[in-house]
């Protein structure tokens, strides 16, 4: 099957996810700076979630430059990824409304951990479909960022129950780690 429909659908879902998140941003009740600053947790949770969705979209684009065709397994693995990404707006709204609460902070971490697991599954399915000479496998190499991320998310989820701020630091750290596009894939596509 052609990969273009999968990419177009993924682009559309990512756009809807971002739209849902931005629609959750409401203007402050007051008209002074204090009222505006009161929205900082909501705005910061939106910014972090936007960055995460953008990271997935960017890396998805890079991955699929190395995929010539898709099969049913890749389609379902991609849908699985999109399902978990679609839950980020809910977790974003909850942590934005309750930034120092343990459970919303932990749920936010789970909303980041599950797309990471789905991403690993998608990556594995693509590599299996491509066979022993998989260009994606060659480009990923040891994939240290990909292997470290779930552990950092899990550490964030666990720490949310005694220090939501520490949990937030884990979530920001992973985003910073992935913010720069994956050069391994870019080199493989260019070469």
Phi, psi angle pair for 179, to nearest 5°: -60, -40
Q: Where are the alpha helices (DSSP H) in the chain?
A: 4-23, 33-37, 40-64, 72-86, 88-97, 102-130, 135-140, 144-159, 164-178, 183-190
Question: Could you read off the pLDDT tens digit of each residue along the chain, which spans 191 residues?
Answer: 788 999 999 999 999 999 999 998 889 888 888 888 989 999 999 999 999 999 999 999 988 988 999 999 999 999 999 999 999 999 999 999 999 999 999 999 999 999 999 999 999 999 999 998 999 998 888 888 999 999 999 999 999 999 999 999 999 999 999 987 667 677 766 66
Q: In whole angstroms, what is the distance from residue 133 CA to residue 154 CA?
A: 32
Q: pTM of this prediction?
A: 0.92
């Amino acid at each position: 099957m052609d990969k273009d429909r999968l990419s177009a659908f993924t682009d559309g879902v990512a756009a809807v996810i971002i739209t849902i998140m931005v629609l959750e941003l409401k203007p402050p009740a007051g008209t002074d700076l204090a009222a505006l600053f009161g929205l900082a947790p909501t705005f910061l949770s939106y910014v972090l979630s936007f960055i995460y969705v953008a990271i997935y979209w960017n890396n998805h684009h890079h991955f699929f430059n190395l995929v010539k065709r898709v099969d049913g397994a890749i389609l379902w693995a991609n849908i699985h990824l999109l399902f978990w990404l679609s839950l980020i707006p809910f977790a974003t709204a909850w942590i934005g409304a309750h930034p120092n609460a343990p459970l919303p902070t932990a749920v936010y971490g789970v909303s980041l951990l599950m797309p990471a697991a789905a991403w690993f599954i998608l990556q594995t399915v693509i590599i299996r479909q491509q066979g022993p000479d998989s260009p994606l496998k060659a480009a990923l190499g040891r994939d240290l960022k990909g292997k470290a991320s779930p552990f950092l998310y899990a550490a964030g989820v666990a720490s949310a129950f005694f220090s939501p701020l520490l949990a937030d630091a884990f979530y920001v750290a992973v985003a910073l780690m992935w913010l720069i596009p994956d050069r391994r894939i870019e080199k493989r596509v260019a070469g």
